[in-house]
């Protein structure tokens, strides 16, 4: 790993910058931790002395990815993930900023815990870490957290990860305060009563496997309620993880009505469907569950059209002890920091998404929604930059995953394309050799 901060010229690359609708062959000059220039023909003569000149012919240079949903186990669950291991996995996957989730122990619901997270990340991580704070105290859905204090401490958004706030009055107040404090509410839309004992998507396949199903309505009903509360309050709202056609219909109506709403989908729900579960593969037990192929294709089309703004990893490391169980008893979740981009490139190679659209959903839009300075190669922007070889073939070996937990749904999957260099703040933090 290189850590010096010499100027870097990424030369002769296909430069993709969705923030400027830019996609052309050119050079990117990085110095003093920022992007100095992006254009064609900078050349060796136009760079500072001692610049590291990297020939990127045949490769892609893009803004570093921003992952809006990744679990990091500090504090309380460091056996599952630490800032050090998560950041190493992120760097090798082209992710330069992680939004860590609040479901730690203790929960990130006060300014002291936010401060701990930011200090710990600063001391041990090699990528940027931004904390999401809990929407309600203890994520119990009963009493709001202190939005103003938490925002001042460094929280970039508020959400009760994997928990829907079922009390509509609490949610209404949260959205009202979000409007007044100009903060973003990130909400998981899943009615626990409709989920019940369900463990996978409701339908014929679940019946064949003899497993209890989760209906699409469990997601769409909560989202519909939330859209009405957004209309009532004017708060900013982000649907944390959509998965089905019914939810897209609700989202489109809200957008057409001019509401300030956005949405994410996990890469798992774009690249996989319920049939991939096969013979009870617990590494594919997720929340929300993998849906039908029709749902998957609809979600991809929603990303392509811009209806769904963000693709995130939904990185959720789980121990062997809670995954190597019968499907109905196993914990939900999959690791995804290192596979988010390679799995996304599958959609590019098979013609379902344009590469610029993929980068926009993984980088530029998350930055815009969260108000972060990344997601762009504009002059003066932070030098969080990645170099991608979009065509190199490789096979995922779980042994190579940098996270302590190996619960990947892409075990031994064949990919075409990977990150070959990740630059954070002008420093190369990962280089594939």
What's the length of the chain?
Answer: 433
In this predicted structure, what is the pLDDT of residue 44? 72
- State if pTM tops 0.95: yes
In this predicted structure, what is the pLDDT of residue 254? 98
How many other β-carbons are positioned within 10 Å of the β-carbon of residue 267? 28
Give the chain's mean pLDDT. Answer: 96
Domain boundaries, the chain: 8-61+383-431, 64-370
Element of type H or E holding 36: strand 34-39
In this predicted structure, what is the pLDDT of residue 45? 74
CATH superfamily ID and name for 8-61+383-431: Urease, subunit C, domain 1 (2.30.40.10)
Question: pLDDT per residue over 401-416, tens digit each?
Answer: 999 999 999 999 999 9
In this predicted structure, what is the pLDDT of residue 4? 67
276, 314, 384, 391: the active-site residue: 314
With a CB cutoff of 8 Å and minimum separation 6, the contacts of 156 are: 99, 130, 131, 132, 184, 370, 371, 372
CATH class for the region spanning 64-370: alpha beta
Helix, strand, coil shares of the chain as percentages rounded to 5? Answer: 35, 25, 40
Round to whole Å and give the CA distance between 66 and 256.
27
- Pairing mode of beta strands 385-395, 22-31: unpaired
Question: pLDDT per residue over 104-149, tens digit each?
Answer: 999 999 999 999 999 999 999 999 999 999 999 999 999 999 999 9
* pLDDT above 60 for 3: no
Whether 314 sits among the annotated catalytic residues: the reply is yes
Question: pLDDT per residue over 247-299, tens digit each?
Answer: 999 999 999 999 999 999 999 999 999 999 999 999 999 999 999 999 999 99
Question: pLDDT per residue over 341-399, tens digit each?
Answer: 999 999 999 999 999 999 999 999 999 999 999 999 999 999 999 999 999 999 999 99
Round to whole Å and give the CA distance between 215 and 198.
9
Burial track 210-238 (b if 16+ CB lie within 10 A, e otherwise): ebebbbbebbbbbbbbbbebbeebebbbb
């Amino acid at each position: 790993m290189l850590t010096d901060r010499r100027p870097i010229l990424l030369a002769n690359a296909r430069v993709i910058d969705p923030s400027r609708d830019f996609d052309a062959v050119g050079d990117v000059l990085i110095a003093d931790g920022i992007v100095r220039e992006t254009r064609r023909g900078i050349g060796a003569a136009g760079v500072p002395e001692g610049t590291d000149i990297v020939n990127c012919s045949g490769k892609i240079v893009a803004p570093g990815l921003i992952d809006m949903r990744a679990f990091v186990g500090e504090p309380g669950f460091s056996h599952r993930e630490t800032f050090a291991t998560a950041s190493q996995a992120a760097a090798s996957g082209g992710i330069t900023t992680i939004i860590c989730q609040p479901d730690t122990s203790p929960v990130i619901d006060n300014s002291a815990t936010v401060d701990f997270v930011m200090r710990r990340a600063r001391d041990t991580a090699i990528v940027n870490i931004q904390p999401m704070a809990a929407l309600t105290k203890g994520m119990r859905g009963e009493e709001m957290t202190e939005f103003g204090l938490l925002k001042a401490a460094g929280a970039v958004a508020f959400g009760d990860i994997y928990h829907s706030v079922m009390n509509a009055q609490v949610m209404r107040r949260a959205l009202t305060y979000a409007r007044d404090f100009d903060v973003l509410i990130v909400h998981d839309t899943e009615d626990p009563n409709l989920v019940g004992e369900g463990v996978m998507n409701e339908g014929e396949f679940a019946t064949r496997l003899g497993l209890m199903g989760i209906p699409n309505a469990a997601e769409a009903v909560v989202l519909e309620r939330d859209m009405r509360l957004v209309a009532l309050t004017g708060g900013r709202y982000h649907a944390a993880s959509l998965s089905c056609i019914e939810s897209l219909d609700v989202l489109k109506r809200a957008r057409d009505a001019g509401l300030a709403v956005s949405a994410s989908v996990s890469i798992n729900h774009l690249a996989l469907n319920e049939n991939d579960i096969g013979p009870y593969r617990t590494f594919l037990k997720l929340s929300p569950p993998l849906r039908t192929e029709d749902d998957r294709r609809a979600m991809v089309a929603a990303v392509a059209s811009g209806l769904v703004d963000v693709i995130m990893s939904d990185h959720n490391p789980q121990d062997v002890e809670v995954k190597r169980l019968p499907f109905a008893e196993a914990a939900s979740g999959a690791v995804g920091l290192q596979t988010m981009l390679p799995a996304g490139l599958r959609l590019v190679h098979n013609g379902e998404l344009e590469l610029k659209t993929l980068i926009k959903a993984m980088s530029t839009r998350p930055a815009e929604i969260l108000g972060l300075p990344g997601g762009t190669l504009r002059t003066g922007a932070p030098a969080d930059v990645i170099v991608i070889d979009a065509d190199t073939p490789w096979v995922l070996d779980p042994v190579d995953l940098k996270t302590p937990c190996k619960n990947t749904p892409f075990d031994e999957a064949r990919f075409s394309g990977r990150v070959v260099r990740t630059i954070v703040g002008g420093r190369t933090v990962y280089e594939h050799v």
